[in-house]
Amino acid sequence: MSLRAVEFDHRHTTVDALATPGNDSDSRSRRRLRGRIVAGLLLGLVGVSTSTAQFGLKAGTVSAQVDGAPFSASVSIATFSKGKLVLTSFANSVQLQIPDAKVARFDIALDEKGRQKGVVLGLKVGKTYMKASAGSVVIESLSASRATGTFECEAIDLATEKKVKVTKGRFDVKITGK
């Protein structure tokens, strides 16, 4: 078995376990490893965030059309602290971070190394992880208790590097922590 790190940006890394063909124990090992990774990530998240977030497992939703197909994900935690809006799901299906958040339009762009700079937007559709590479996020409303907005972008499938079109993106969340 080998590990592959799939990077949304320099701050968030997803680890996938890859099975070696022909080894029957790989499936069990992969499940055990995935369970340990998920448990570690959740424990790390709880350890880091208990002072800054009240956990509500359903803070709101994110929806979009991904290459024309409907996408919807529950947001587990939505925080707005020190000017940064962060939406995330325990299922790892959505990650949105906007520094210096306010009611405005924010461009999505990559730096010279291909990492997201400024706005971070990552989606998981089925088993496909993707990161936004160009586009925008618009925060329509933002308060201490709620955030709504839209987004459209071109994204990159992290496994195949295929370009993916994300349209009609929307988020509507209750801020669950500071």
pLDDT value of residue 15: 38
For the stretch 53-97, pLDDT in tens is 444 468 999 999 999 999 999 999 999 999 999 999 988 899 999
What value does the mean pLDDT take over residues 164-169?
Answer: 98
177 pLDDT more than 60: yes
For the stretch 139-164, pLDDT in tens is 999 999 999 999 999 999 999 999 99
4 pLDDT more than 90: no
Residue type, 56: G
Domain positions in the chain: 2-49, 60-174
Q: What is the DSSP string of 129-148?
A: EEEEEEEEEEEEEE-SSEEE
Question: Using an 8 Å Cβ cutoff, are 90 and 81 in contact?
Answer: no
Dist CA 92 CA 42 (whole Å): 11
Look up the pTM and report it.
0.68
pLDDT value of residue 175: 94
Helices (H) and strands (E) in the chain, counts: 1, 13
Dist CA 96 CA 87 (whole Å): 5
